[in-house]
Amino acid sequence: MFTSLITFLVLTGFYAGFGTGQPLVPALIIMGDSVVDAGNNNLRLTLVKANFPPYGRDFLAHTATGRFSNGKLAIDFTAENLGFTSYPVAYLSQDAANETNLLTGANFASGASGYHDGTSLLYNAISLTQQVENYKEYQSKVTSMVGRDKANEIFKGAIHLLSTGSSDFLQSYYINPILNAIVTPDRFSDRLMRFYSTFIQNMYDLGARRIGVTSLPPLGCLPAAITMFGGIGSNTCVERLNRDAVSFNTKLNNTSVNLANKLPGLKLVVFDIYNPLLNMVMKPEENGFFESRRACCGTGTVETSFLCNALSVGTCSNATSYVFWDGFHPSEAANRVLADNLLGQGFSLISQT
């Protein structure tokens, strides 16, 4: 898919910078949770970290950077697909101290954050509200380097990607018996939609005009979700969790259409990761995998963050055949598939029209 799309861009003359190192857009801004966190949690007092082995064992220089994967994230492949020669730096990392690195974007994501700031508080993650505040600070730094007019061009032309929501359900709603006893999943989704709408409005007010947001994945197919919410010894997806994700995604699409209609000049795309990931889970062999129910790390049933460590017994030797690296996060191989799907879905974000 990626090759065919690039070929199309070259033939139509759209991607004039192909082969010259010129990216399709001036900058890439990342916000959200652990699926896209590139290391912002590393220095925080939180259990949700990934800056130790075996995380990163297949990344550049086999380094654990704080990415919740054995290697690259989907957004890393996305950066490559867009023509960037480096990845957006984690805004709270040492790499961001060299402010010239910020001219092509930054990553503000934090593992265990969600649409609801209360989710972040449970794990001392960086809330989505604080990520927006950090983005404002980022804008000031870029403006001081290149001037207001050039900076505004960067912000307007940049692609802003948001990937969050899973923690709101799996690490907050479902594990809170009081909350899920008095609030239905439908009402909870409605609440999250209000936070999402506020986020989009805030980003729009800050000059963002190209925004992509990922759908929820098939929550019930994540190995940790099967372990926690499935039957004893179950090895099948938890359908009620998947139904909640589908319902949420429908609301996300409808809300996004309304926001795009309301806000002039806004390109807002919802990226479907539910179906591509579900396809990998249900038909692993057709997608080049042999294991889609257990993760690579440890027992493959629940381990993530500090439970996935260098001493975890049973960790696979080759993660390329696994859809999931740990109990919640895709492997690098699965992330590559997801990123190619994102590029195909996101043509309108990179189009100049």
Angle between helices 274-282 and 332-345 (to 10 degrees): 140
The answer for residues whose C-beta is within 8 angstroms of residue 193's C-beta and 6 or more apart is 251, 252, 255
Q: Which of 1, 6, 24, 161 is nearest to 83 (CA)?
A: 24
Active site annotation includes 76: no
CB 111 within 8 A of CB 33: yes
User: Cα-flanking dihedrals φ and ψ of residue 181, to 5°?
Assistant: -85, -30
Active site annotation includes 34: yes
Catalytic pick among 37, 244, 272, 326: 326
Give the bridge partners for 107, in sequence order. Answer: 30, 90
Catalytic pick among 34, 110, 127, 166: 34
On the 0-12 / 13-18 / 19+ scale of CB atoms within 10 A, 228 is middle
Catalytic pick among 93, 110, 127, 329: 329
CB 154 within 8 A of CB 27: yes
On the 0-12 / 13-18 / 19+ scale of CB atoms within 10 A, 51 is middle
Distance CA 95, CA 104 (A): 13
User: Cα-flanking dihedrals φ and ψ of residue 322, to 5°?
Assistant: -105, 135
Angle between helices 2-11 and 332-345 (to 10 degrees): 40
Distance CA 250, CA 252 (A): 5
H-type alpha helices, 206-330: 223-229, 239-262, 274-282
Q: Which of 135, 162, 122, 125 is nearest to 49 (CA)?
A: 125
Active site annotation includes 329: yes
Please give the positions annotated as active site.
34, 326, 329
